[in-house]
Amino acid sequence: MEIIKTPSPNFNDRKGCSQPSLIIVHYTGTKTADEAAAYYLNTTTDPNAGPISPHYMIDADGTLFQFVDEDKRAWHAGVSAWKGETDINSHSIGIELVNEGEYADYPPFADAQIDMLVTLCRAIQARYDIPAADVIGHDDIAPDRKKDPGPSFPWTEFRKRLKDI
């Protein structure tokens, strides 16, 4: 699996845990990978942008980018909760899929993108013993605030392909 490393300055140490126990799937809400990366690298011209970062981003063609090392706390979950845990950033790996989502009426995700997501998730699951049930969407951890990965994300097929630990 080829990974293009593009280090983001937006991270810190994990708090209260030694390794991740969740994988959170997002969409970027952007047209291109370059547009999304500008947010993660603090180079966007968007005056409303705050410091954010995922661990990984997957472009529509399956190209995989890494912005934050897995042993660090990326800033992707925001105000969220899952199974009583409220510091989701410390307990998760965040993966962004380049897709406009709600801003373009939820376009479908590309097959190459989903294939890479499955490959990446299976590798992360194996490293940290994360069950398939804990590979979830941003909308699962922040249902009143977030809509990603959205209704066009192929959850049924995706879950069939995950490794069940």
pLDDT at residue number 165: 60
Q: What is the DSSP letter of 155?
A: H
Backbone angles phi, psi at 64, to 5 degrees: -110, 125
Q: How far is CA 38 from the centre of its chain?
A: 16
Return d(Cα 145, Cα 123) in angstroms, integer: 29
The amino acid at 25: V
Catalytic residue numbers?
96
Q: In what order do the strands lie in the sheet with 22-27?
A: 3-5, 64-66, 56-58, 92-97, 22-27, 135-137
Q: Where are the domains of the chain?
A: 3-161
Q: Divide the 165 residues of the chain into consecutive groups of 10 and give the mean pLDDT of each group.
A: 97 93 98 98 94 98 98 97 96 98 97 98 97 97 96 96 79
Return d(Cα 84, Cα 141) in angstroms, integer: 10
Hey, is 164 helix, strand or coil?
coil
Return d(Cα 30, Cα 97) in angstroms, integer: 10
State the distance between the two ends of the chain, measured CA to CA, in whole angstroms: 21
> Do 55 and 89 meet the contact criterion of CB atoms below 8 Å apart?
no
Q: Which fold has domain 3-161?
A: Lysozyme-like (3.40.80)
Backbone angles phi, psi at 134, to 5 degrees: -105, 20
